[in-house]
Amino acid sequence: MAPINVTDINENKAYVPAKKALPEVETESANGNEKCKGYSYETLLETANFLLSRITIQPRIGIICGSGMGSYWNEGSLAESIQDGVCIPYEDIPNFPVSTVEGHHGRLVFGKIEGAPVVAMQGRFHYYEGYPLWKCCLPVRVMKLIGVKTLIATNAAGGLNPDYKIGDLMIVKDHINMMGFAGNNPLHGPNDERFGPRFPPMNKAYNYEHRKIAKEVAKELNINNMVREGVYTCLGGPNFETVAELKMLKMVGVDAVGMSTVHEVITARHCDMKVFGLSLITNECVTSYDHDMEANHEEVLDVGRMRQDILRKYVSRLVDRFSQIEPESP
Ligand SMILES: O=P(O)(O)O[C@@H]1C[C@H](O)[C@@H](CO)O1
C-alpha cells in the first residue's frame, strides 16, 4: 500500500511544508507575565506526515491509555488485540514530548483491533510533568491530522461517588474543567481556524451515541454491575487531593477525580472529533479526617493490572462497535 499523505485524508486541505524550522508560535498571555506557546498547524502537519510515512493503515479511532492501562500492553493484554502493530517511540517522532511517568510507556502503536484500524498512545503527557496543556494535547491534534475521527480517552481516577468501588469503570458523561476556572486552557492563545473555532461549545463533549453503545456493550459482556456513568474532573497534580478539596468537588457534582483527560477532550472537540471517555476507579477518595488510607500511584497501577482483562475485552468491543458507525473514507 502506498504511503498515505495528510492531503489525502483531510478534506483536501493543502499541505504546505514549513519553510524553515519554525516549531512554536509565541505570544504574550492575557496576564502578560507568562509566554503562551503552541506548535503551528504546519509543524503538526510535518509530524503527521512523518507518522503517515511509516504506516500503511488509516486509523479512524485513537486511544489514549491511562495510567497502568498502557503498561500492561507489554504483558500481552490489550496488545494482544492490536494486530499487525507498528510501535513508534515518542522520542523518534518530530515535535513530540516524552513520557516521564511510571505506567506510561511512551510510544504510539498503530494496528488493528477487531479489524478496525487504530492508533493508541501507550502513555500520555500530564501537566504535572512540566508540559503546558497545549503540549499535553499535541498528540490529539496530530491524531486529527492523520484522520482520526473518534477519540477514546481512558484514565485512572479516584472514586469520589460513595457508590463507586475500586475496579469499577466509569463512562464519562461530562467533566468540570477546574484548571480552566483558573485560566489554564489548552486552547489559550491564538486560534487557528483550521483546527476549529475560537469559541467551541462543550455541552456535548462526550458523545451521546458512544455512551449509549458503551452501556449496551457492558450488558453484553455482563459487566454492567461495575460500569457507572459520571462526571470527571482533572486537577493539575502531582499531589493527590486534600480532604477539603475532595469535599468541595463532591459538592459540585464530581464523581471521579484525576489528573488528565479534560484538556485532551477540549482539544479533540475543538477539532470536531467525537469523544468517548472511560475512567478506571483505582482508589477511593478519602473525604474524612479519621481515615488512615492514603492514595498512592502503586495502587493505581495495581488496579490497572487487576482490571486489564476486562478493560481489553471492553475496549476491543467498543472499538468494534464505534468503527461500525465511523465512515471508512474521509
Ligand atoms: O494518565 P492518568 O490520568 O490515567 O493517570 C492518573 C493521574 C496520575 O497521572 C496518576 C496518579 O496515580 O494516575
Give the position of cell 485513537: 62
**Longest pairwise C-alpha distance within the chain:** 63
Q: What is the pLDDT of residue 330?
A: 46
pLDDT at 12 > cutoff 60? no
Per residue in 177-201, pLDDT (tens digit) is 999 999 999 999 999 999 999 999 9
Per residue in 236-251, pLDDT (tens digit) is 999 999 999 999 999 9
Query: Can you give the pTM of this predicted structure?
Result: 0.90
Q: What is the pLDDT of residue 58?
A: 94
Q: What is the pLDDT of residue 55?
A: 95
Per residue in 152-171, pLDDT (tens digit) is 999 999 999 999 999 999 99
Q: What is the pLDDT of residue 133?
A: 97
**Segments making up each domain of the chain, as ranges:** 19-325
Q: What is the pLDDT of residue 291?
A: 87
Q: What is the pLDDT of residue 83?
A: 83
For residue 234, the surrounding DSSP H or E stretch is: strand 227-234
Contact call for residues 22 and 43 (beta carbons, < 8 A): yes
d(CA 325, CA 210): 9
Per residue in 198-208, pLDDT (tens digit) is 999 999 999 99
Interface pTM, i.e. ipTM: 0.99
What value does the mean pLDDT take over residues 14-36?
40
Per residue in 27-40, pLDDT (tens digit) is 434 344 445 568 89
Q: What is the pLDDT of residue 6?
A: 53
263 as an active site residue: the answer is: no
Residue 67 CB–ligand 1 contact under 6 Å:
yes
The pLDDT confidence band at residue 2, using thresholds 50, 70 and 90, is very low
Contact call for residues 256 and 279 (beta carbons, < 8 A): yes
What value does the mean pLDDT take over residues 5-12?
47
d(CA 234, CA 246): 12
**CA distances from residue 234 to 126, 127, 133, 269 in whole angstroms, order as listed:** 10, 10, 12, 17
pLDDT at 271 > cutoff 50? yes
Q: What is the pLDDT of residue 328?
A: 58
Centroid of ligand 1 to alpha carbon of 22 (angstroms): 32
The residue ranking higher by pLDDT, 78 or 61, is 61
Determine which one of 49, 67, 207, 323 is catalytic.
67
Determine which one of 39, 46, 99, 129 is catalytic.
129
Percent of the chain past pLDDT 90, that is, above it, reads 74
pLDDT at 23 > cutoff 60? no
Residue 156 CB–ligand 1 contact under 6 Å:
yes
Average pLDDT over the chain reads 87
The pLDDT confidence band at residue 16, using thresholds 50, 70 and 90, is very low
pLDDT at 281 > cutoff 50? yes
So what CATH class is 19-325?
Answer: alpha beta
What value does the mean pLDDT take over residues 117-127?
94
Q: Which of 63, 99, 126, 262 to mutate to test the pocket of ligand 1 (most atoms within 8 A of CB)?
A: 126
Per residue in 303-321, pLDDT (tens digit) is 998 998 899 999 999 999 9
Per residue in 126-153, pLDDT (tens digit) is 999 999 999 999 999 999 999 999 999 9
Ligand 1 atom with the smallest distance to the CA of 300 is: 12
What value does the mean pLDDT take over residues 86-105?
88
CA 190 to chain centre: 23
Residue 126 CB–ligand 1 contact under 6 Å:
yes
For residue 175, the surrounding DSSP H or E stretch is: strand 169-176
For residue 112, the surrounding DSSP H or E stretch is: strand 107-113
